[in-house]
Structure 1
Amino acid sequence: MKKKFIMISGILIALILIGAIYFYIFKLPVINKEKGMAKLSFPKSPVKEKMYDDTILDNEKKWGSLNVHDPGIFKDGDTYYIFSTDCKVGGTPMPGIQIRKSKDLINWQFVGYAFNDGVPQTAVAWTGATTLWAPDIVKRGEYYYLYYAASKFGVNKSLIGMARSKSIEGPYEDMGEVFKTDETDDVNAIDPNIVTDKDGNEWMCYGSFWSGIYISRLDNKTGKLLKYGYGTNIASRNSSVDRAIEGPYITYNSKYNYYYLFVSYGSLMKDYNVRVGRSKNIDGPYVDSNGKDMTDTTDNPFDIGNKVLGGYKFGNDEGWQAPGHNSILNDDGEYYIVHHARGGKDIDWPYLNVRKILWSDDGWPMVSPERYAGEKEQTIDKNVIPGDWQAMILSKVDNSQIKSKDMVLKENGEVKWNNTNGSWKFTGKNTLIINIKDENDKNQQYECKVIPSWDYENWKPTIVFTGINKNGVSIWGKMIK
């Protein structure tokens, strides 16, 4: 009896030890992960916007982010404003530059139009335009100054004009021409962006196709060109890709002491994508991570510029197509990219997207894979990283809609990706280093930033990463469990 009792006791002790070991090895990381997640501040569920809603097409007040094209952003006090191209799905747009506003960069209210009388007569007389495109806005003294473009699709008899108002919501009084081009020019006077350099001087960056993107000094008092002419060429593409470059926007980041030039490459309705170069001088030269000049038309046209945004889809979601023509918001040191994108199911429906920008340690912008929902960059616990992810490399060559692939980040630092093995490590407050093979089977290292976010595809909180390698190729990831 005593022997039987000792044997049973020994078995019980062994089972307890095995259970403890199992708990420590397999369950403790889960608990640690849950504790790590609990420490994070996730954005709340945003209001869900119905896509492709043809019942609201004739009701501007219900458009929200629908019909936003070529958005220019401006913060006035505690309110954000978007000015955008005349656009309407399934019908003829009303001319006059659309205005929307928001308190949170998430929910957008249609305000009205900048012009009560449509396209200004100066623009009509030169271009014959029936709508206005690609606005940008600044404030000087008591006036808001709106810059707009007038043209017709595919021609460069174009005009950039300026208007002003004491109310940001208008109406705006036209102040006439800033710059115009004719069909004999190799420049196109559209897509104006007004930028102030670190010394307080104002410049206008502009251009679309033809010989590319230019920048000219403005007279700070009048808001018009200090010296009439093309200005300085700062980005171009060669004829093998139809010289497809447009939508320039420059922002300055004082932390890194660089000006960043964002441009859109490709076809508006097909393979639009956003590239970036940077410079110590506002008028260039702008170069990418490889040191390639954004004006280089002799190299492979797909290799120039850091690609930070392109068409994508996570899992079985329809995703977004042809995102581009952005503006940049610097909101007290927090940066956001504001752009249009086309529905993954129907490319004829453009919507406003706002995304947070994070920065690599050496000062390159990296765009969040998810639309903004109020997320904040914060310290991340390493224990939350292991798990199942969906990830994609934003190939510079493939500018179609890229689909995610499954990625597993293991607790031991191993990465399972695209039928190969890689590795990961966590450094700093939210820096993830991933070593994997790219689509050409070459080993690449990506520096990524991790941030709590909202999973718009699965409608729940999650964490995401956005990263870049030394060649300016971006990687995106989203945890799914």
Structure 2
Amino acid sequence: MSVHYPRLTEAPTDAQPYVAPSPAEPAPAPTGEPSTWGARHAHDPTVVRADDATYYMFSTDAVANSEDIPAGVHIRTSRDLVTWHFAGTAFDGVPRPARDWSGASGLWAPEVVRWATGAWHMYYSASTFGSNTSAIGLATAPHPSGPWQDRGLVVATRAGVDTQNAIDAAVTFDADGAPWLTYGSFFSGIYTLPLDPASGRPLLEGDLGSLTARRHPSVEGALEGAFIMYRPQEGRYVLFASYDSLFSSYNVRVAVADHITGPYRDIRRLSMTDLEAPPASIGTKILGSHGFDGAAGWLAPGHSSVLSQDGPDGGDEHFLVHHARFAADPSQHIFQLRRLFFNAAGWPVVSPQPYAGREWEVLGAPQPLSGRWQVVRFAPDSTDLVESVPLDLESDSNEPFDGGPAAVRLLADDLDLDAVVFGSWDWSRGAAALSFSGIDRHGVAWCGTKRA
């Protein structure tokens, strides 16, 4: 098998203010010139950081089913998490074992993690749409740029034989540092299994794992793109998963567990394997389709993972990594990265604004928290794009806010939000702004950006 080693170029930090891609102006269809893409045409992304502080984004290559699009896992690089440069592919097409098993013409949803040995492991997916004749393969490299050496299949499922669907891999190191693989899409749900710390393969060869999350057949089991994050602060695991249709109604839900294999329960204590409750009620919805100021918005955000790194204050900072579609042209994808925080109760909350770079999210002066906000409410039973509405909120703090982040309570009539406030970049107005994200007493997520 021939392997294409990406030819990398330096990706300097831009010295200009961030201008978010307008959701009203989607990109043209992908072409064979990926150097022009930037963050567009990225599907199922994940991001890692190398020792030299270069970020690498890996994503699905079968974006447009076009012979002009290179296959073999797309790689982009960045120095600032904002400006992205196409750097090639990890492979020259689909590795033969994965192609022979699945018939795939491209690779989906790569997961890249650094192993305890210092090497990098990539778990990629090979399948065809709507089939669970699928496989997750493993490749290793000394560096995110490669060279990537295929190591064959680690989990494989066959239509008519298995109920699982071996795609959408994610790796978590548990409280003891042991690696686990989580995977699954539609069919019978999400599964988790232990990996051999030495080889990165299943600890028990042929193990398909234990059930972690599922959805009712009445909604076609619409659940995929799972990612598990260990939170030592609470000593528990946070499951992120995408519900509904990747074409139109994707939304991100979360649940927590004391053990990596579950049971995972949402903020209302509903189990992620529950088939009795209404399917839309399960999982705490933290991100869905939305828009601000009457502009065309972002549609179907999903297939998320979490990038964690040292923050400027010495603590951890987290980003939700995902793709979204342009509401003005749902055929087009774009990579997005949003700040991810944890509220006072330890639940994840997500910025309403795509990340702009730290220097462009600094407020010009401290601002009071009380006042007029443009807010979005992510109703769990709705798949519609939510337009922001004005709402006057009061804070339990009278101190002007200089950028944070900080955990606060935000109040309005019967609304009581356990929220985090932080500096952001308001892409609809092109300026730094104060934003919040929080969860109300009913377990519904809200987010917003301040206007006055």
Q: What TM bracket, shorter-length normalisation? A: 0.7 to 0.9
Aligned-residue offset at 1:391: 0.7
Amino acid at match of 2:165: N
1:172-321 superposed matches below 5 A: 172-184=148-160, 185-227=162-204, 228-321=206-299
Aligned-residue offset at 1:434: 3.0
Does residue 58 of the first structure (1) align with residue 32 of the second (2)? yes
Structure 2 CA distance for partners of 1:55 and 1:349, relative to 1, 3 Å: closer
Aligned-residue offset at 1:56: 7.2
Distance in 2 of aligned mates of 1:207 and 1:387: 44
Does residue 122 of the first structure (1) align with residue 97 of the second (2)? yes
Aligned-residue offset at 1:427: 7.5
Determine the structure 2 residue equivalent to 1:468. Answer: 439
Aligned-residue offset at 1:479: 1.5
Q: Percent identity?
A: 36
Higher-helix-fraction structure: 1
Determine the structure 2 residue equivalent to 1:446. Answer: 417
Distance in 1 of aligned mates of 2:396 and 2:363: 15
Asked if 2 retains the 8 angstrom alpha-carbon contact of 1:294 and 1:305, the reply is yes
Determine the structure 2 residue equivalent to 1:85. Answer: 60
Structure 2 CA distance for partners of 1:180 and 1:312, relative to 1, 3 Å: same
Does residue 131 of the first structure (1) align with residue 106 of the second (2)? yes
Distance in 1 of aligned mates of 2:364 and 2:212: 39
Determine the structure 2 residue equivalent to 1:100. Answer: 76
Distance in 2 of aligned mates of 1:472 and 1:275: 12
**TM-score, with length taken from structure 2:** 0.88
Aligned-residue offset at 1:425: 2.8
Amino acid at match of 1:312: H
Distance in 2 of aligned mates of 1:387 and 1:224: 54
Which piece of structure 1 moves more, 443-452 or 364-373? 443-452
Structure 2 CA distance for partners of 1:89 and 1:125, relative to 1, 3 Å: closer
Amino acid at match of 1:265: Y
Asked if 1 retains the 8 angstrom alpha-carbon contact of 2:29 and 2:332, the reply is no
Asked if 1 retains the 8 angstrom alpha-carbon contact of 2:369 and 2:398, the reply is no
Determine the structure 1 residue equivalent to 2:140. Answer: 164
Aligned-residue offset at 1:400: 1.7
SS at match of 1:54: coil
Unpaired runs of 5+ in structure 1?
1-42, 414-423, 438-442
Alpha-carbon RMSD across the aligned residues, in angstroms, is 2.3
The alignment covers a number of residue pairs equal to 420
Amino acid at match of 2:306: I
Aligned-residue offset at 1:435: 3.6
Asked if 2 retains the 8 angstrom alpha-carbon contact of 1:56 and 1:62, the reply is no
Asked if 1 retains the 8 angstrom alpha-carbon contact of 2:371 and 2:392, the reply is yes
Amino acid at match of 1:387: G
Distance in 2 of aligned mates of 1:210 and 1:268: 15
Aligned-residue offset at 1:448: 1.5
Aligned-residue offset at 1:104: 1.5
Distance in 1 of aligned mates of 2:246 and 2:216: 17
Distance in 2 of aligned mates of 1:339 and 1:447: 24
Aligned-residue offset at 1:375: 4.0
Distance in 2 of aligned mates of 1:91 and 1:125: 20
Determine the structure 1 residue equivalent to 2:346. Answer: 363
Distance in 2 of aligned mates of 1:288 and 1:56: 38
Distance in 1 of aligned mates of 2:64 and 2:108: 16
Structure 2 CA distance for partners of 1:379 and 1:199, relative to 1, 3 Å: farther
| Equivalent residue in structure 2 for 1:385, among 364, 369, 376 | 369
Distance in 1 of aligned mates of 2:113 and 2:398: 40
Per-residue CA shift, 1:51-106, capped at 9, x if unaligned?
A: 43439733211211011100122121212211110144584432100011112211
Aligned-residue offset at 1:240: 1.3
Aligned-residue offset at 1:153: 0.3
Amino acid at match of 2:96: Q
Amino acid at match of 1:390: Q
Per-residue CA shift, 1:80-134, capped at 9, x if unaligned?
A: 2111101445844321000111122111111110002x00111111111111101
Asked if 2 retains the 8 angstrom alpha-carbon contact of 1:305 and 1:472, the reply is no
Distance in 2 of aligned mates of 1:253 and 1:461: 30
Determine the structure 2 residue equivalent to 1:36. Answer: none
Distance in 2 of aligned mates of 1:48 and 1:465: 19
SS at match of 2:324: strand
Asked if 2 retains the 8 angstrom alpha-carbon contact of 1:248 and 1:263, the reply is yes
Structure 2 CA distance for partners of 1:383 and 1:103, relative to 1, 3 Å: closer
Determine the structure 1 residue equivalent to 2:120. Answer: 144
Distance in 2 of aligned mates of 1:278 and 1:119: 35
Aligned-residue offset at 1:295: 1.0
Per-residue CA shift, 1:225-260, capped at 9, x if unaligned?
A: 011222111111001111100001011122222211
Structure 2 CA distance for partners of 1:366 and 1:152, relative to 1, 3 Å: same
Distance in 2 of aligned mates of 1:336 and 1:62: 25
Determine the structure 1 residue equivalent to 2:301. Answer: 323
Asked if 2 retains the 8 angstrom alpha-carbon contact of 1:156 and 1:181, the reply is yes
1:416-435 superposed matches below 5 A: 424-426=395-397, 430-435=406-411
Determine the structure 2 residue equivalent to 1:71. Answer: 45
Asked if 2 retains the 8 angstrom alpha-carbon contact of 1:434 and 1:447, the reply is yes
Structure 2 CA distance for partners of 1:88 and 1:292, relative to 1, 3 Å: closer
Larger Rg: 1
Structure 2 CA distance for partners of 1:54 and 1:330, relative to 1, 3 Å: same
Aligned-residue offset at 1:218: 0.4
Asked if 1 retains the 8 angstrom alpha-carbon contact of 2:196 and 2:202, the reply is yes
Asked if 2 retains the 8 angstrom alpha-carbon contact of 1:256 and 1:363, the reply is yes
Determine the structure 2 residue equivalent to 1:394. Answer: 378
Determine the structure 2 residue equivalent to 1:45. Answer: 17
SS at match of 2:277: coil
Structure 2 CA distance for partners of 1:383 and 1:350, relative to 1, 3 Å: closer
Aligned-residue offset at 1:386: 3.5
Structure 2 CA distance for partners of 1:127 and 1:427, relative to 1, 3 Å: farther
Asked if 2 retains the 8 angstrom alpha-carbon contact of 1:289 and 1:470, the reply is no
